[in-house]
Amino acid sequence: MALFPIIGRFQGDFVPHLVAVDTDDTMDQVAEKVATHSVGRRVPVAKGKTAYEVFLLGKLMPGKSTLAKIMEGTAVPALQWFDVRWKK
């Protein structure tokens, strides 16, 4: 359990954000933390959509996987770019 800085961008927003996440956070929690900075501000709330998904290096990450688990198989440096979008 450690704080870890990432750069998060919500699809449709032009502003990336520095977001502090925890290595024990799931990708669903990471998505929520990133979305907080964009949805309802520069990105409109989508009707009927309440969930998000995370992409890392162009790959969809499993929502229940923790950042620590993903870091075991993928090099994730501090300030790595994470993209978040509405779940399809």
Using alpha carbons, select from 39, 44, 75 the residue that is nearest to residue 67: 75
DSSP 65: -
Q: Which whole number is the average pLDDT over 4-33?
A: 98
Residue 2 has pLDDT above 90, yes or no: yes
How do strand 80-86 and strand 3-10 relate by DSSP bridges? parallel
Segment 20-38 mean pLDDT: 98
What average pLDDT does range 29-35 have in this prediction? 98
* All domains of the chain in start order, with CATH: 3-86 (3.10.20.270)
| pLDDT tens column, 43-88 | 999 999 999 999 999 999 999 999 999 999 999 999 999 999 999 8
- Whether the per-residue pLDDT at 1 is higher than 90: the answer is no
Structure tokens at 68: 């620590």
d(CA 61, CA 13): 20
pTM strictly above 0.85:
yes
